[in-house]
Amino acid sequence: PERSARVTKVRPPLYQYIRKLLFSDLDKSSIEHVLRQLRKLPWNECEAYLLKCFMKVHKGKYGQIHLIASLTAGLSRYHDEFSVAVVDEVLEEIRLGLEMNDYGMQQRRVAHMRFLGELYNYKHVDSSVIFDTLYLILVFGHDISEQDALDPPEDCFRIRMVITLLQTCGHYFDRGSSKRKLNRFLIHFQRYILSKGALPLDIEFDLQDLFAELRPNMARYSSIEEANAALTELEEHEHTASFEKANSASHLDAEKRPSKQADSNASLTAN
């Protein structure tokens, strides 16, 4: 039978060039070059397209997502509007993913979690955004009638999302207020995990690795009641701690920020 030839999408040369830069040229050694080329683009014409391409992190190599995050941070000096937009877009993608819970989108949803974590590593979002996202993942859509579609009881994908984000940037939450925030979150996370019952082995092993890396001494609770008790205890403890803190006014609470940026990004923005 007659079949019409497949129509290939023809993109304007400018778009083709952007795609070449981001999807084939970009690697560790070429990133400075790519950043310089991006800065030379006619921004009025292509800012929206560039934003679209930055959201396609799932199309590239998983191990290269940090390069896109680095570019975002590198561009913020001259195109702050753009790098603010990147953060807004990633967070919207994550939210949309939770709203649709479409199986076919899982790969890109994992890539977006990784991207968000890398944006934190390049100091482009602060820890409150990370923790808000983590809690959103645990609670989104619960206590409404669509819960079974949004987070089916046997579906462990949200655990996968949390693991991805914490694997990417969790090791920076090791002191000060962000350390306490992670401790608290991990208990909530455990409670969520327990609500899922028996886990697939791949998830269970990744969880073991995650806890071993971030909090090797933290107890893994075996029932929701135990996790609840731990949360109550933590709240009482923090209540007395904040009381003591108020009495000693000279409490400095430095939050360790990633240092990754110092070596790679400083050289980028200096050009």
Partner 1 sequence: MKGPLDRTKVVLRHLPPSITRETLLDQIDTVFRGRYNWVAFRPGKTSQKHQIHARAYINFNSPEDVIGFAEFFDGHIFVNEKGAQYKINVEYAPSQQVPKQWSKKDGR
Identify whether the C-beta of residue 207 lies closer than 8 Å to the C-beta of residue 161: no
- Contact stretch for partner 1 (CB under 8 A) within 59-67, 132-140, 189-197, 256-264: 132-140
Give the DSSP per-residue string, 54-113: HTTGGGS-GGGHHHHHHHHHHHTTT-HHHHHHHHHHHHHHHHHHHHH--GGGHHHHHHHH
Burial of 217-229, coded b for 16+ CB within 10 Å and e otherwise, reads eeeebeeeebbee
Q: Is 91 in the site for partner 1 (CB under 8 A)?
A: yes
Total site size for partner 1, rule CB under 8 A: 23
**Tokens 């029932």 -> residue:** 223
Q: Is 129 in the site for partner 1 (CB under 8 A)?
A: yes
- Whole-number minimum distance, CB 224 to partner 1, in Å? 28
- Whole-number minimum distance, CB 259 to partner 1, in Å? 20
- Contact stretch for partner 1 (CB under 8 A) within 13-21, 83-91, 222-230, 231-239: 83-91
Closer of 89 and 204 to partner 1 (Cβ): 89
Identify whether the C-beta of residue 163 lies closer than 8 Å to the C-beta of residue 207: yes
- Considering only residues 106 through 125, tell me which ones interact with partner 1, judged by CB under 8 A: 125
Q: Binding string to partner 1 for residues 12 to 41, with x set by CB under 8 A, is what?
A: ------------------------x--xx-
Closer of 81 and 148 to partner 1 (Cβ): 81
**Which residues lie closer than 8 Å to 137 by C-beta, 6 or more apart?**
94, 98, 158, 161, 162
Q: Is 78 in the site for partner 1 (CB under 8 A)?
A: yes
Closer of 85 and 231 to partner 1 (Cβ): 85
In three-state secondary structure terms, 138 is helix
Identify whether the C-beta of residue 180 lies closer than 8 Å to the C-beta of residue 242: no
Which residues lie near partner 1 (CB under 8 A)? 36, 39-40, 77-81, 84-85, 87-89, 91-92, 95, 125-126, 128-129, 132-133, 136
